[in-house]
Structure 1
């Protein structure tokens, strides 16, 4: 039996990605409906919110002004999926709490890439860059240039919230973070923009984690990879994860290789500092401290609404988790583009074809609602000054590349706000959060932070969605079942009841019980 330390070693101590597929957290529950005048429908008045859905879908979801709280989600998969499920008349405010500023910084990076306008970066290129940054420990030089450029823009954005108390983008809000947390964000972005000369060797850091996790099994590690894939992931319904791709990720940390090129530059967004006790002293070691077993394919690559991608031949899936991830992320980005006033068009002879209507249009013009993020000399100087105030970031020659200016979309009625790391227990004491959240999500690693005060911030009929340990491969079936039972007890103590009896055991979903 594997020790608790080895279990933690496999999952890691930093949640760079979640251990379950993307979900629309507003439409996560299947609730029982009652017939009225021959039509199955349910209408509930909740602070000017209305629920309308026919029984054919089996799902009831909120409409109107919607608030969602995400605790420890680790990545923006649920945010993107929930935005894609919005109606035109809906407005959405997502509130995010993470357990480290490195994860907050990475969330901002991935959201910034997601919001990049199609005329700044093509949909296909954006999808590839997003997945490369999302799931690869090492990236191509072109992708590194993009990360550096976005890091500079994010640094400027966070600096503005401190100096001028203004937000650089209406969809992304960091103003509610503490000043010291924003200072830490600035330091992280500065380090991404100008990595220290003695940066961590990602290949060695990854291999050290694998050695520690497997122990005496390291020399036969290929067999261990194959066992985890065929006897665990495939048995859990992840047959689309192909053997070669999974083995390469387990060996090198490369999940998405969609283009020819050298993947050999450390992905700075996956590096963090872990503190160890060494001879009585606390020593910080920078390296890769995330998941090395379950894989980043879980977020976007194991489910799809396009059944063509799930076809099999000779009991083998034709399409891989990488291909499904590309299709799913591109579909989510197309939803963002439509809401941001940038409907995706295929070009024919200089004109576009609107995919929704099939009508030819004139060549695409920039939307007036988007933001021009071209940096002025003054803004560039602000970034350099911010970089200079941190001793860890050494002065380096200016990067030789010319990164294109990234124009961001403004998603009408959508906002993502980041809250302080310790804010969960304080929300009930603030009147603005009283009965505010229509849906609440909590990761498996953060569930122990939930307490009875959560009921005070949940709106009537609110959904509570908790990530389970189905894809934590080092857990036994007994440990997995015990965790699921414990989640049920916690939800019951909070005043929530099970919302469904579902075969989907990636998440447990509950609804707030009426008083």
Structure 2
């Protein structure tokens, strides 16, 4: 689907998906068992990975292969998967859930959460840059060895940027507000009415009544979806910032800011469906629980399933031993020197690499975005670097589960490699990546393969006609690459197909 003006609210970077988490092995008519290989194309977040792992039996093995369209999204996937694998001894269930959801859906986070982000960034930075070193911290479930060297270098730069950020909350809010102004245009002054309309007349009508009005409007205003504590949410969430390239007066300008969804919300991934029907109870036609409550319950359930799968056989990351340091206790914390108030440089920085080969054309509104980003530079100062003593965190070893990340341009090349010939039992594709599907899919799909495609149900900028047209186009593309519909849910966010028998 093209990232045209009609879907500007969805953004050009998929930080979270536009549909709830699914057990991908249960999508077909019969649940898949045994040794399974799953390909995810543009999923944006690990919701399907976590849900699928939670549904595994003890005798099942799962290899997930992930392709994204930007390294910033790959970095986020690694961050969220790492957090999911932290053992209960290293981080309690409630704390882990809070940190996970803050980093998942908040543009501004607590200082404690920022320290966790910097710690995980330090671990991953070591892992992707020194993979061949025997002392390199690694984890048997997370594999980045199939990425190109330049992609690993870019990952290392992203993690370094998370450790030593150049963005403060004021500039992050300005970046968010600039997106809202660009999206609403002349409706900006009546934005709360627009937010309320999108919620009650669109999301609620699509079955998302659990999304609370106050929480949704606050997210639309500032980008803060999850506030589970009364702490101060005032540190920039670096994992939600990325570079977008514009043509501005004949020059290519890279703007670092927030370029993701500002309309549909991160509540869609974990907060609108639950197996616990008590969380869906209503009183006086109002939901007793909110999408935040459901997100917390669902994420906790997934984390508990991961711990059970790991059997509490932990795999410590030996960072301190490799550095010649003494062993540290099983209860790990992140220690830092006292920090001064965080301040920032300009939101405009040189891009590490264009996220897409297509350079966005400047419009009058985009020119205003460039101006807004430039103004930030005159209002903030440079932050001194914070020196961390990186401690290890124990991670769960999910026996029989591996998540491998493939190069950004690898989808069309998989069919040329024997390793992937008729390998994938399930193939998932996001709405933004459907146009990449072609006939080569038959060469990598197993005989019993299931194709799952995300639809445009929760892309609120689209009309019902556009949504239906997109669903029809998805069916045509699937048929063209050799797949036929398995079943059809009129109210579902995904279309499911199976490979036609020759």
* Fold-level similarity (TM above 0.5): yes
Query: What residue number does 1:8 align with?
Result: 7
2:56 aligns with 86
- How many Å apart are 1:205 and its aligned residue? 0.4
Shift of 1:371: 1.9
Q: Distance in 2 between matches of 1:72 and 1:4?
A: 14
- Give the aligned partner of residue 171 of structure 2: 201
Report if the CA contact (8 A) 1:153-1:373 is conserved.
no
* 2:289 equivalent to 1:319: yes
Q: Does the 8 A contact of 1:24 with 1:82 survive in 2?
A: yes
* 2:97 is the alignment partner of 1:127: yes
Q: Is the 8 A contact 1:120 1:404 kept in 2?
A: no
* Secondary structure of residue in 2 paired with 1:63: coil
Indicate the residue corresponding to 1:462 in structure 2: 449
**What is aligned with 2:466?**
479
Would the alpha carbon gap of residues 282 and 379 (structure 1) be closer, same or farther in structure 2, given more than 3 Å must change?
farther
Q: Indicate the residue corresponding to 1:100 in structure 2.
A: 70
Partner Cα distance (1:180, 1:421) in 2: 11
In structure 1, how many angstroms separate the alpha carbons of the residues matched to 2:135 and 2:323? 18
Which residue is equivalent to 1:440?
427
Match of 1:502 in 2: 489
2:270–2:294 Cα contact (<8 Å) kept: yes
- Give secondary structure in 1 for the equivalent of 2:497: strand
The alpha-carbon distance between structure 1 residues 189 and 250, as it changes in their structure 2 partners (threshold 3 A), is same
Q: Deviations over 1:370-421 (max 9, x none)?
A: 22444347389xxxxxxxxx99999954446x77631111100000000000
- Aligned equivalent of 1:71: 41
Q: 1:243 to 1:287 in 2, by over 3 A?
A: same
Shift of 1:483: 0.3
How much does 1:504 deviate? 3.8
SS of alignment partner, residue 161 of structure 1 = coil
Gaps of 5+ in 2: 326-348, 353-381
CA distance in 2, matches of 1:17, 1:121: 24
Deviation of the 1:197 alpha carbon: 6.7
* Partner of residue 146, structure 2: 176
Q: Which residue does 1:136 correspond to in 2? A: 106
User: Measured at CA, do residues 153 and 488 of structure 1 come closer, stay the same or move farther in structure 2, by a change above 3 Å?
Assistant: same
Q: How does 1:416-427 map to 2 (within 5 A)?
A: 416-427=403-414
Q: CA contact under 8 A between 2:87 and 2:396: conserved in structure 1?
A: yes
Query: Separation in 2 of the partners of 1:379 and 1:145?
Result: 23
Alignment check: 8 A CA contact 1:371 1:410 kept: no
Which residue does the alignment assign to 1:115?
Answer: 85
SS in structure 2 of the partner of residue 247 of structure 1: helix
**Which of 310, 320, 341 in structure 1 is aligned with 2:311?**
341
Query: Hey, what's the Cα distance between the residues in 2 that align with 1:430 and 1:392?
Result: 32
1:240 alignment counterpart: 210
Q: Mapping of 1:364-383 within 5 angstroms?
A: 367=313, 369-376=314-321, 378=323
Determine helix, strand or coil for the equivalent of 2:25.
coil
Query: Does the 8 Å CA contact 1:374/1:406 hold for their aligned counterparts?
Result: no
Aligned 1:358-397 pairs, distance under 5 A: 367=313, 369-376=314-321, 378=323, 396-397=384-385
**Secondary structure, counterpart of 1:514 in structure 2:** coil
Contact kept? 2:320, 2:391, Cα under 8 Å: no
Q: Check the 8 A contact 2:20/2:269 in 1, yes or no.
A: yes
> Match for 2:197 among 208, 227, 230?
227
Partners of 2:252 and 2:478 lie apart in 1 by 37
1:282-301 equivalence runs, <5 A: 282-301=252-271
* Residue in 1 that maps onto 2:371: none
Question: Against the structure 1 CA distance between its residues 284 and 13, is the aligned structure 2 distance closer, same or farther, given a 3 Å change threshold?
Answer: same
8 Å contact 2:196–2:213 — kept in the other structure?
yes
Instruction: Name 2:25's counterpart in structure 1.
Output: 26
* TM-score w.r.t. length of structure 1: 0.84
Supply the distance in 2 between the matched residues of 1:145 and 1:252 (Cα, whole angstroms): 21
The answer on whether the counterparts of 1:165 and 1:175 sit within 8 Å (CA) in structure 2 is no
Q: Distance in 2 between matches of 1:133 and 1:270?
A: 8
Q: Deviations over 1:130-156 (max 9, x none)?
A: 000000000000000000000000101
If the length of structure 2 is used for normalisation, what is the TM-score?
A: 0.86
Q: Note the alpha carbon deviations across 1:468-509, whole angstroms, 9 max, x for none.
A: 000000000110000000000001011111011323420000
2:372 aligns with none
Could you tell me how far apart the structure 1 residues matched to 2:5 and 2:498 are? 35
1:14-37 deviation digits (Å, cap 9, x = unpaired): 0000000000111112x3xxxxxx
Question: What's 1:408 paired with?
Answer: 395
1:313-365 CA-partner distances (Å, limit 9, x unpaired): 011100000000000000000000001113xxxxxxxxxxxxxxxxxxxxxxx
Rounded to whole Å, the distance in 2 between the matches of 1:165 and 1:507 is 43
More deviation, 19-28/502-511: 502-511
- CA RMSD between the two structures: 2.2
User: What is the CA-CA distance between 1:164 and the residue it aligns to?
Assistant: 6.1
Where structure 1 has 5 or more consecutive residues not aligned to the other structure, the ranges are 32-59, 343-366, 381-389
For 1:273 and 1:162, how far apart are their aligned partners in 2?
Answer: 30
Q: Matched residues in 2 for 1:437 and 1:377: separation?
A: 37
